[in-house]
Amino acid sequence: MDPEKCTACGECAKVCPVKTDDGKAAIDMPYPFAVPRTYTINPELCLRFQEGEGDCSKCKDACPEGAVDFEQTEEEQELKIGAIVVATGYDEFDASLKPELRYDLYDNVITGVEFEKKLLEAEKTGKIEINGKEPKDVIFVQCVGSRDKNVGNEYCSRVCCMYTAKQATMVKDLIPDSNVTVCYIDVRAYGRGYEQFYENAQKKGVRYWRGNPAEVYKDDGKLVVRAENTLLGDPKEISADLVVLATGMTSKSDARELGNLLKVPQSGDRFFLEAHPKLGPVNTASDGVYIAGTCQGPKDIADTLAQASGAVMKALIPLCQGKVFIEPITSVVDEEICSGCHMCEKICVYDAPTFDEEKGVMTINSIVCKGCGSCGATCPSGAISMNHFRDQQLFAQINMLSS
């Protein structure tokens, strides 16, 4: 697709014969706010790029601007930039990692995201259908992949409680005589108006049942959820036509690779780590690199937008000023002692030390150096010290305190 010609009119997507389950065509907008605002071709879906499928060119014929170019190839571009905002989003937890819930075995055990698509269809048709039938008994299971040490995710995903309350309410609205049960660990309705929304769901007949399901199985063709009510200590088996799993958020699968590239550390839960939770919530250990949204941790849309606004403003400050302020405490190399062994280069995560071929010694890039002292502690020659934090200064402080 030629971005100079494409006007994002959507005529190409209308005539595309390939459609995915979520309604996307083989040629479509990658996401609503894509920059540049250009339609792209997915070669994994496009019939033209499938062996033995023929030479479909319907999108090209329909394009009024002649923007579709099948001969276009991948190309690499080098961009000079002043700041980076990392906003990679998140991955949905793979529910099949909880085998006791039988997500990959039963068709009527689905995730909250999949059920959301069903509800979007129901808004048009006025009815919910699962495998051609209207479900009368619906069970929502909370915290699938969240607050679970067994799968390595001990954090709360923050959005699951409220989107479950919304979906449960919609089921009661569309199927008034349905039995809707939410199996939960704790209900965390933390936002403004969320507690009232949760109470409204209960008033509409949504039953909240405190217990983490131990197993989902089938009996006489109907789903059965086995769980224990932890408030009453009462084990119970609840039958259902549909089980909806509120899957949580996880970090992107390639987050570690990107973090290593940008020199941004990750926390124990594999999300990107901010410089300081209060004083630098959008900053990172690498100057000029900022984070926004769920790449830092689970967030809802409102919090994501708020943090994104902060990250953009932080990125604009040095760009508008045309200069940056750096910390005065950085490493410095004593060239008379340095042997050029490269030990500091290996230990530094910011790539601050480099080898001076002409002098045969290591040098420190003070712009990227963070003054952490790792290189100084590693140097076998003792050639590296910290500006304004030298050994003589420390010894003078100690002598003063001890005198």
Tokens of 175: 């199927």
Nearest CA-CA partner of 277 in 256, 297, 263: 297
Q: What is the pLDDT of residue 49?
A: 85
Structure tokens given for 22: 């979520």
Strand partners, 19: 25
Q: What is the pLDDT of residue 52?
A: 63
Q: What integer pLDDT is reported at residue 330 of this predicted model?
A: 92
Rounded to whole angstroms, the Cα distance separating 241 from 168 reads 14
DSSP labels for 151-200? GTB-S--SSHHHHHHHHHHHHHHH-TT-EEEEEES-----STTHHHHHHH
- Cα distance between residue 126 and residue 20, in whole Å: 22
**How far apart (Å, rounded) are the C-alpha atoms in residues 242 and 171?**
11
CB of 172 within 8 A of CB of 206? yes
Helical H runs in 295-363? 301-321, 343-347
- Residue 396 is inside which H or E element, if any? helix 391-402
The full set of domains in the chain, from first to last, is: 1-73 (3.30.70.20), 82-324 (3.50.50.60), 331-402 (3.30.70.20)
Return the ∠ at Cα 17 (arms to 75 and 128), rounded to 5°.
115
Residue 290: how many other CB atoms lie within 10 Å: 27
Q: What is the pLDDT of residue 320?
A: 92
Q: Which residue has the tokens 């965390």?
A: 188
How far apart are the C-alpha atoms of 225 and 215, rounded to whole Å? 6
Q: Rounded to an integer, what distance in angstroms lies between the CA atom of residue 54 and that of residue 286? A: 49
- Token digits for 106? 């039963």
Cα separations in angstroms, 80 against 83, 323, 400: 9, 16, 50
333: its two tokens: 């190399």
pLDDT the model gives residue 232:
82
Q: For 17-38, give the DSSP string.
A: S-B-TTS-BSEE-SSTT-SS--
Mean pLDDT of each 10-residue bin along the chain, 403 residues long? 91 93 88 87 89 81 93 87 94 96 96 94 90 94 95 95 97 96 94 94 96 92 91 89 97 94 92 95 93 96 95 94 85 93 92 93 91 92 88 87 88
**Claim: this prediction has a pTM higher than 0.75:** yes
Q: How far apart are CA 191 and CA 161, in angstroms?
A: 11
Q: Which of 87, 31, 111, 94 is nearest to 250 (CA)?
A: 94
Torsion angle of C-alpha atoms 370, 374, 277, 329, degrees rounded to 10: -30
Res 124: pLDDT: 86
- The DSSP bridge partners found for residue 249 are 92
Q: CA-CA distance, 119 to 142, in Å (whole number)?
A: 18
Among 289, 265, 287, 311, which Cα is nearest to 371's?
A: 287
